[in-house]
A = this chain, B = another copy of it.
Amino acid sequence: MNAMTASNLRSAYGGESQAHMRYRIWAEKAKKDGFPNVARLFMATSDAEEVHATLHFKALKDEVGSFDVLSGGVFGYDSTSDNLQGAIDGELFEVEQMYPAYIAVAEMQNEKAALSAYRYAIEAEKVHAELFTKAKEAVDLGKDLEAETILLCPVCGFISITGEEETCPLCNAKKELFKEY
Residues of A participating in the B interface, judged by any CB pair closer than 8 Å = 10, 13-14, 16-18, 20-22, 24-25, 50, 53-54, 57-58, 60-61, 63-78, 82, 86, 89-90, 93
Contact = CB atoms under 8 A, between A and B. Distances in A.
Count copies of this chain in the complex.
Answer: 2
A152 B44 CA distance: 24
A18 B93 CA distance: 20
23 contacts: A13-B73, A17-B17, A18-B18, A18-B69, A20-B20, A21-B54, A22-B57, A24-B54, A57-B75, A63-B75, A64-B75, A64-B78, A64-B82, A64-B86, A65-B74, A66-B73, A66-B74, A66-B89, A67-B72, A69-B70, A69-B71, A70-B70, A71-B71
A77 B64 CA distance: 8
Contacts of A66: 72-75, 89-90, 93
A61 B76 contact: yes
Nearest to A6: B75
Contacts of A76: 60-61, 63-65
Contacts of A68: 70-73
A125 to B, nearest CB: 15
A126 B90 CA distance: 34
Given A17-B20, A18-B18, A24-B50, 4 more contacts: A64-B82, A64-B86, A66-B74, A66-B93
A8 to B, nearest CB: 13
